[in-house]
Structure 1
């Protein structure tokens, strides 16, 4: 009689243990204390050029700064332009011409590896203003509004942050036609979202000087 009772108790214990195992497994409780490795966090492009050994030709150029696209934003990149140093300052058109050539050029290998691209495409040239335009006006061979927003943002920030700009992070820019130029501003918001339209302000041309 006692043996039968012991066997019944042992059987009931086994059933309880099995039920507990099923319950624990069904509730999703891990039976191990080993931590779970979820892997590395998602990586982003570095947006930083680490090439410290420029070519001899590039090393002889004039230091310039252009804005390229990286990680859906505009980031400044230091380059060297072949523009003669004695003509680098004082002439906004020459400066803008050299900067535009840099924007039209394909990024170097080190820039591409860092994630840089450019949205500026040719044919595109820059020249001085028309008669009656405010001093310092630059005019593109295409209407600025006809460029892609990102390309225009690159040009605006590159020109505005150089000696070709009109001061206050702005540039006076127009197209080939008779439309008056606009004052384009390079802002933090524009650098963060270059696909948006650059902010502008109307430009008032200086009054004509009366002749005798």
Structure 2
């Protein structure tokens, strides 16, 4: 048998085609790599893992382009909305005379602003509201303490965030706050209570212990 004539001197099993031998070597390398990975405590998986969207920054701030020009027959009022788990003020346009000396009219005007769904510009900035759309403000009763506002729901039956929004919004109005507090009652026979909007209320409106409630004698 001559060398170089294409005949294997060691037999067909040892001098087979070069392709299969390369494939076998590559497979062995892959198995060795898998063994190293499993030895390091890392499991391989064929199931795609969805880690969710990348975290986005919530500005809680409106740009100049988001603020529309105020009409001449309106005034600006501050209301509190929820943003990044805190209470943050936004300016709302209300008709003149609605936030003046008429307590009930002012309360209803501010309630309407704080309970309506924020416009697109505020939603993009991260603002939302927890105040229910069906909530109403009714007149005080004959024996209620001065400055009382009666809600269509018991204040304590509202969510902590909704009550905090309403109390802090009303506390910004000189017409609605009495000695720094907001006096609220409900439709039932329970006596009204005075609520305070504190720095803790604004920082943690979801905390059920805020806003602070005071009994009235």
Q: TM-score, normalised by structure 1?
A: 0.70
Structure 2, unaligned stretches of length 5 or more? 1-54
Alignment of 1:76-155 (within 5 A): 76-81=89-94, 83=95, 85-155=96-166
Question: Match of 2:77?
Answer: 64
* Cα RMSD after superposing both structures: 2.1
Contact 1:157 1:169 in 2 (8 A): no
- Which of 174, 177, 196 pairs up with 2:207? 196
- Which of 18, 43, 61 pairs up with 1:48? 61
Contact 2:154 2:187 in 1 (8 A): yes
The Cα of 1:103 is off from its aligned counterpart by 1.2
Contact 2:79 2:110 in 1 (8 A): yes
Q: Distance in 2 between matches of 1:196 and 1:59?
A: 40
Q: Distance in 2 between matches of 1:138 and 1:49?
A: 31
- Which of 184, 187, 191 pairs up with 1:180? 191
The Cα of 1:137 is off from its aligned counterpart by 0.5
Give SS of 2:97's match.
helix
Contact 2:70 2:93 in 1 (8 A): no
Contact 1:46 1:115 in 2 (8 A): yes
Structure 1, unaligned stretches of length 5 or more? 1-41, 205-212
Question: Match of 1:10?
Answer: none
Q: Distance in 1 between matches of 2:60 and 2:191?
A: 36
Q: Could you say if the C-alpha distance between residues 183 and 110 of structure 1 is closer, same or farther in structure 2, counting changes exceeding 3 Å? A: same
The higher radius of gyration belongs to 2
